[in-house]
Chain A
């Protein structure tokens, strides 16, 4: 959107004014906005809804890649067997139809997730994480193995067992913090 005042710069400030109970929204660039309200003005940084913003984000495809992907999609509109969603439909709605979509669109997903997330691998809580007691038992078993390995001077084995123990210990600690 172009600034309503200077009609040159990009409008990124929305000024909402209330006149006789009628709400008027004006869109100015930062420079013009300050002229209109020298001391106080309400800045709404997000004139578009988050939904719209995300949808635009998904749709963003580099110019050269665009042609290719659109032709590909029209010739091969792969639909999710469970909910019938196509990738195009997902782009339009910004939402998947079911859990299986994650598998159906596994080709396109990593690219998309890299753009909107911090990676493509879940590192948070695991659904079927074993209970604390179980992990502790596992650690004890590994410790016995570790002592054996040291006694038998198999130091490489010992090192890898030690790493395994550490990893499990961290897991317990993490889960503990989350519930503390």
Chain B
């Protein structure tokens, strides 16, 4: 599988099911592992890095007993734009994308599993699934973990479990996260309190692009902070409980908004759709906010139906790297905003035709 497959595909197969709720977008599991008696990437030499790479290639690209089909890429061969797209698709981390020399990754064809090599730790197994699916995503990652452990001697100690470069990952090495769309809680300004509550419960809340990123389009990522002193089952169970509570709160907030200010809400959500349909220049913040409102409007039945899949694809495609990939050339920020507007209109109109069966959205012309 060449890299183009992963760059041009805006709707990988793991994203293609229609989920019942618009609140939970996706679930991600990450396992951090290191190889015994080898220094961590922060202090190792290029030779040591090479040894790690070779070990991983041997295990993951061999064909005799290997149940997986991975494609392998080295980060140093990649142009900046390609790296950016892979980060936007959550296939690699920003940290890996910034590397000049060391670092590589393995991807399965459906993009549901990626393995990062020589990032902060030697090995990071990542499994992505759609909707709320902690158990299944964990099972995927765990299966690969066991497969790797047959031929790789992990750095492990009875007391501290799996050893990692950062002590915030030591123990299980497990970071489970759920991506949530929480427009009503954001609008009613309940997120502050909620984030504080979740922090006290040992959860971390972040924006859409992971560490250090701001909340774009009312999308939050909730993940476990603690990796040591709790078992994998407990960690997953606790996260599940917290997320379920947040979903309930969001649903309640939506109900209240609909009850207290139905016309203001409908006006605002309709305006968002109007902006997406007719704006000629759309900066990413505005596009994300409009898409969030449209998503909410569709979910509440206030707007014409648009499939989750289409909206997810729009959310992904509106990012700077993917727009440039889609258009096929590098663009200045101002140009990007113009193409973003055009691209989103094309996408949304495509949908109209499919749903209205030929009556091409007369209401909107």
Contact = CB atoms under 8 A, between A and B. Distances in A.
Contact of A179 (B142, B165, B228): B142
A127 B191 contact: no
8 contacts: A16-B214, A48-B212, A82-B39, A109-B167, A117-B170, A122-B159, A123-B230, A124-B235
Given A117-B228, A125-B232, A96 B165 contact: yes
B215 interface: yes
Given A43-B186, A43-B215, A180-B139, A124 B167 contact: no
Contacts of A85: 43
Interface residues on chain A, size class: 35 or more
A123 B231 contact: yes
A178 B233 contact: yes
Given A46-B206, A98-B39, A179-B139, A116 B167 contact: yes
Interface in A101-117: 102, 109, 112-113, 116-117
Contact of B160 (A40, A82, A102): A102
A112 B229 contact: no
A130 interface: no
Nearest to B228: A117
Given A18-B283, A51-B211, A119-B228, A99 B192 contact: no
B127 to A, nearest CB: 14
B135 to A, nearest CB: 8
Contacts, number: 164
Among B186, B212, B285: residue with most chain A CB under 10 A: B212
Interface of B: 34, 36-40, 42-44, 120, 135, 138-139, 142-143, 149, 154-168, 170-172, 174, 186-187, 189, 191-192, 195, 202, 204-207, 211-212, 214-215, 225-233, 235, 283, 285-286, 289, 333-334, 337
Contacts of B159: 120-122
Given A98-B39, A118-B228, A178 B142 contact: yes
Contacts of B204: 50
A124 B232 contact: yes
Given A50-B212, A122-B170, 11 more contacts: A51-B211, A51-B212, A83-B40, A95-B42, A97-B40, A99-B36, A99-B37, A99-B163, A119-B228, A120-B228, A122-B172
A140 interface: no
Contacts of B154: 127
B229 A43 contact: no
A95 B40 contact: yes
A124 B191 contact: no
A125 to B, nearest CB: 6
A124 B158 CA distance: 10
Contact of B166 (A21, A94, A119, A179): A94
A122 B228 contact: yes
A42 B217 CA distance: 9
Contacts of A174: 231, 233
Among A30, A42, A109, A177: residue with most chain B CB under 10 A: A42
Nearest to B235: A124
A117 B172 CA distance: 11
A45 interface: yes
Contacts of A125: 172, 231-232
B202 A98 contact: no
Interface in A138-180: 174, 177-180
A97 B39 CA distance: 6
Given A49-B212, A178-B142, A34 B171 contact: no
A94 B40 CA distance: 13
A54 B168 CA distance: 8
Contact of B189 (A14, A34, A126, A179): A34
B288 to A, nearest CB: 10
B195 to A, nearest CB: 5
B338 to A, nearest CB: 11
Given A21-B333, A117-B228, A174-B231, A124 B168 contact: no
Given A21-B334, A174-B233, A122 B195 contact: no
A44 interface: yes
B40 to A, nearest CB: 5
Nearest to A112: B167
Nearest to B333: A21
Contact of B149 (A16, A95, A127, A178): A127
Among A84, A102, A119, A127: residue with most chain B CB under 10 A: A127
Contact of B206 (A50, A109, A117): A50
A180 to B, nearest CB: 7
A56 interface: no
Given A122-B171, A124-B231, A102 B191 contact: no
Contacts of A16: 214, 285
A46 B220 CA distance: 12
